[in-house]
Amino acid sequence: MKSNQVRLNSGITMPVIGLGTYSYQNDRNTTESAIHMALKMGYRHFDTAKIYGSEPAVGNALREAILDRTVEREDIFVTSKLWGSDHHDPVSGLKQTLRNLGMEYLDLYLVHWPLKLKPWACFAVPKEDEFEKLDLESTWSGMEKCLELGLCRSIGVSNFSSKKIEGLSEFASVPPAVNQVEMHPMWRQAKLREVCRDHKIHVSAYSPLGGPGNSWGSTAVVDHPTIQSIAQKRKATPAQVALKWGLSKGSSVIVKSFNEYRLKENINALELKLDDQDFLQIDKLEEWKIMRGEFLCNETTSPYKSIEDLWDDEI
């Protein structure tokens, strides 16, 4: 197995650097050209979601690359995610995603949030009357059905706390292969990584740089003096230091950039070497969760009255 891949508990391998395709205002052409650029640089893992609206662009670019023999379908890894409005029928949700992508199967299908919405809810920020009671056992059974039908090669979750992972493991016939969560040098997820390790669940990091460039993101990670001084010492960039930290913890990193220079910078983090001293310095940084999920909490209709409820006090 190549060193830039990780083997999941489902038996398949996943490239440890993935290209995220969420962008508040991306147009289809920008996304497609970024994917073609990324493929030329060696990216083989592409991350999308129904709610991002980028599935058609991702699918189109990848199909073009397969047709012109740039890559084989077997050489790329495609992840998408079940939105809350499809919890009542994950199989139909995944079939719609596959139609959007123009593909026959996904490599990984994730439950995007531990949250069920009314079937017509179609915005990233749900309205108050769109929340439903979460029945995770029924949702997960639908995810297992997706696997059984060959619509995907692995199933997993996203934004699940340690407590929710423990709860899921009590009834899951097939354990999640991945838990994709916010993770970076200022939100290190030590407890969650340990719980996932105990259950042989791979932790994949979204916003591994703290989400700079996203409306909700921050430059606090790449601007931190500690990260900057390590970068200077290693003749690297702050982004490369942050990514290498995540990779060194055994995690994969899903990093979003449509800029040619940054795409190259990010994938070159694989070559960077950090030492114990660097890691010790990073482990002393103050912790601060950036994606807090307030938009999924309310006093009346959401199962989560507060962000403490949503994250089971892991915040």
Mean pLDDT by 10 residues, the chain (315 residues): 85 97 78 96 96 93 96 97 97 98 98 97 93 96 98 98 97 98 97 98 96 80 96 97 97 95 96 96 95 94 96 92
Confidence (pLDDT) at 165 = 98
Residue corresponding to tokens 């340690």? 162
Confidence (pLDDT) at 28 = 87
* Contacts with 10 (C-beta within 8 Å, 6 or more apart), sequence order: 153, 154, 155, 174, 177
Confidence (pLDDT) at 218 = 85
Catalytic residue list contains 52: yes
CATH among 3.20.20.100, 3.40.50.300, 2.60.40.720, 3.40.50.2300 for 5-311: 3.20.20.100
Cα–Cα dist 228/242, whole Å: 10
Beta bridge partners of 7: 13
Cα–Cα dist 54/48, whole Å: 6
Among the options 22, 52, 109, 304, which is catalytic?
52
Q: What is the dihedral of CA 95, 15, 260, 158, to 10 degrees?
A: 50
Cα–Cα dist 131/121, whole Å: 9
Own/partner contacts of 156-159, CB < 8 Å, gap of 24 or more, are 156/108, 156/109, 156/110, 156/111, 156/180, 156/201, 156/202, 157/110, 157/111, 157/114, 158/81, 158/110, 158/111, 158/112, 158/113, 158/206, 159/112, 159/113, 159/114, 159/293
Hey, what are 191's tokens?
Answer: 């407890």
The model carries a pTM of: 0.96
Q: Which residues are annotated as a binding site?
A: 112
Cα–Cα dist 292/308, whole Å: 9
Confidence (pLDDT) at 1 = 46
Q: Which residues are annotated as a binding site for substrate?
A: 112
Is 157:258 a contact under the CB 8 Å cutoff?
no
What b/e sequence results for 4-35 when a residue is b if at least 16 CB atoms lie within 10 Å of its CB, and e otherwise?
bbbebbbeeebbbbbbbbbbeebeeeebbebb
Q: Where are the domains of the chain?
A: 5-311
